[in-house]
Amino acid sequence: MGGKKLLRPKVAKGSAKPAPTVGPFALGPALYIGLLAAALAVALAFSHLAPGSSSASASSRRRAQTNGGSGRPSPQKTFQCGSAELKHLRPDDYPARGYHVLTLDGATNLGGGKVEATVHVDGTAAHDTTVALASTGGSKALRAMLEALAASVAAVRPPAEARYTSQWSHAEPPANWGVFTPAGARIRSVEQIAKCGIAYVFEGGNFVWPGVAVGHKTELSGIPGFGNITLITHSLRPVVITIEPLLSEAEADHVVALAKPEMAPSPVSHIDSDVGKPSTEWRTSTQARLAASYDSTVDGIEDRVARIVNVPKTHGEPLQVLRYTKGQHYHAHTDYFDPELYKEQPGMLDTVEHGRKNRLATLLWYMSDVAEGGETVFPRAHKAEAVGDFASCDVSVQGIKVPPKKGKAVLFYSLLPDGSLDEYSLHGGCDPSSSETKWAVNKWVWSKAY
Ligand SMILES: O=C(O)CCC(=O)C(=O)O
């Protein structure tokens, strides 16, 4: 996982720690009323939702990965249903294993009885089944429903591809399955499912944006410190989404200025067969880490990430600021750590809990404009064939490229909704071919607290 040098805020009098967190009542009545108003605004905004490093290659085994921090819990999110409809299912030929959409016809409460939900298994309508919701009480009834759901899904779902069963042990049906509203709020009772009339179940326990279809737009409002955003889907496997903008000019400039004096060669975490090789075989950029909640700008960005990815702040690594000058790059790699490739590295195996924990998603921001080159390439987007040349940024035959633009972000998932590794998430940073420096920032979000 490489040496983690974190850039921490300078504090006036000796203490190296950031200021302690204070509760709202310690802030004075005016600020407290302000916070309440802001929370209400966020709640209202959600009610209008219409949602629709890393290793250096997968199949060649020429990989290595980076890592590094900590966070603190994000504020409790207000429970909001959102308004996803069946049009948010994926095309039948693009199932997302471990993502189930439950729909109820018009039920808004269980009225002491039993209601049957239709289950769209793996996010498509190809293998529908049903499950009963009984109002026997809160979370107990939810667990019973998940057990019944696991049995229903197993009965209709096609067998797993070999790779699912052999490589990953994250999903323990249904103890760690997560149930969410389409707005990303965690559901804790069957009553909440009935109230919303729809729920998403993720076997891996974490919310994963459904993607829906290439070109699909998901509107989100009330993003902390930012306002409204649109998530645009570019690929369903892996899920690749862009958000533009997701950072103001001032925020981008501030983060780059913080990191600039600390830039050092970017590390990679080598897989067993690559230990001892120079990292520059794959990655030639420089980088710096900003400690979690370094200052109010960084903290605000982290709040934004937690809200968009629907995962607590505790799951995020500290921001990693990247700099590529002309000709520098990061060849295609994955951001997850496949335990099969780190068998001789007990520290890494502990970090990924032998396959039960991993990087779930990456939010990568571009902090500068680059006239030519500097794209993020996904050579296996749209479930494309394995690639032989991990240095290639040519997508004329397969794959997609996201061009950099200051303030724009790309969100992609390294894990599938069932918690297993998505080998199609292979991606790389192409070298800028013009003279501008490419600045970028990585935020890696883990499937459990980091
Ligand atoms: O710079 C990019 O576009 C990609 C960076 C990346 O893949 C990484 O740092 O893991």
pLDDT digits (tens, 9 = 90+) for 207-263: 999 999 999 999 998 898 888 999 999 999 999 999 999 999 999 999 999 999 999
Closest ligand 1 atom to 410 CA: 3
Q: What is the pLDDT of residue 169?
A: 52
Three-state SS for the chain is CCCCCEECCCCCCCCCCCCCCCCHHHHCHHHHHHHHHHHHHHHHHHCCCECCCCCCCCCCCCCECCCCCCCCCCCCCCCCCCCCCHHHCCCCCCCCCCEEEEECCCCCCCCCCEEEEEEEHHHCCCCCEEEEEECCCHHHHHHHHHHHHHHHHHHHCCCCCHHHHHHCCCCCCCCCCEEECCCCCECCCHHHHHHHCEEEEECCCCCCCCCCCCCCEEEEEEECCCEEEEEEEEEECCEEEEECCCCCHHHHHHHHHHHHHHCEECCCCECHHHCCCCHHHCECCEEEEECCCCCHHHHHHHHHHHHHHCCCHHHECCEEEEEECCCCCEEEECCCCCHHHCCCCHHHHHHCHHHCCCEEEEEEEECCCCCCECCEEECCCCCCCCCCCCCCCCCCCCCEEECCCCCCEEEEECECCCCCECHHHCEEECCECCCCCEEEEEEEEECCCC
* 162 has a pLDDT exceeding 70: no
- How far does residue 136's CA lie from ligand 1's centre (Å)? 48
- How far does residue 65's CA lie from ligand 1's centre (Å)? 11
Find out whether the beta carbon of 57 lies less than 6 Å from any atom of ligand 1: no
Nearest CA to ligand 1 atom 1: 429
Which residue among 66, 365, 414, 442 has the greatest number of ligand 1 atoms within 8 angstroms of its CB, and so is best to mutate?
442
* 2 has a pLDDT exceeding 70: no
Closest ligand 1 atom to 428 CA: 7
Which residue among 53, 67, 240, 317 has the greatest number of ligand 1 atoms within 8 angstroms of its CB, and so is best to mutate?
53
pLDDT band at 38 (very low <50, low <70, confident <90, very high): very low
* 40 has a pLDDT exceeding 60: no
* 186 has a pLDDT exceeding 90: yes
Nearest CA to ligand 1 atom 4: 429
Q: What is the pLDDT of residue 55?
A: 44
Closest ligand 1 atom to 404 CA: 3
pLDDT band at 160 (very low <50, low <70, confident <90, very high): confident
Find out whether the beta carbon of 330 lies less than 6 Å from any atom of ligand 1: yes
Residue, of 389 and 40, whose pLDDT is higher: 389
Average pLDDT, the chain: 82
pLDDT band at 370 (very low <50, low <70, confident <90, very high): very high
- How far does residue 373's CA lie from ligand 1's centre (Å)? 13
- How far does residue 335's CA lie from ligand 1's centre (Å)? 9
Residue, of 141 and 30, whose pLDDT is higher: 141
Residue, of 41 and 174, whose pLDDT is higher: 174
Nearest CA to ligand 1 atom 8: 53
Nearest CA to ligand 1 atom 2: 429
Domains of the chain: 86-202 (no CATH), 217-446 (2.60.120.620)
Closest ligand 1 atom to 374 CA: 3
User: Which of the residue ranges 11-15, 20-24, 29-33, 445-449 has the most confident prediction, judged by mean pLDDT?
Assistant: 445-449
pLDDT band at 8 (very low <50, low <70, confident <90, very high): low
pLDDT in tens, 129-159: 999 988 776 778 899 999 999 999 999 988 8
Find out whether the beta carbon of 54 lies less than 6 Å from any atom of ligand 1: yes
Find out whether the beta carbon of 368 lies less than 6 Å from any atom of ligand 1: no
Nearest CA to ligand 1 atom 7: 428
Closest ligand 1 atom to 402 CA: 3
Residue, of 4 and 290, whose pLDDT is higher: 290
pLDDT in tens, 70-124: 333 444 457 888 877 777 899 888 899 999 999 987 666 777 677 899 999 999 9
Closest ligand 1 atom to 335 CA: 10
- How far does residue 389's CA lie from ligand 1's centre (Å)? 17
- How far does residue 190's CA lie from ligand 1's centre (Å)? 40
Residue, of 111 and 306, whose pLDDT is higher: 306
- How far does residue 330's CA lie from ligand 1's centre (Å)? 6
Nearest CA to ligand 1 atom 9: 53
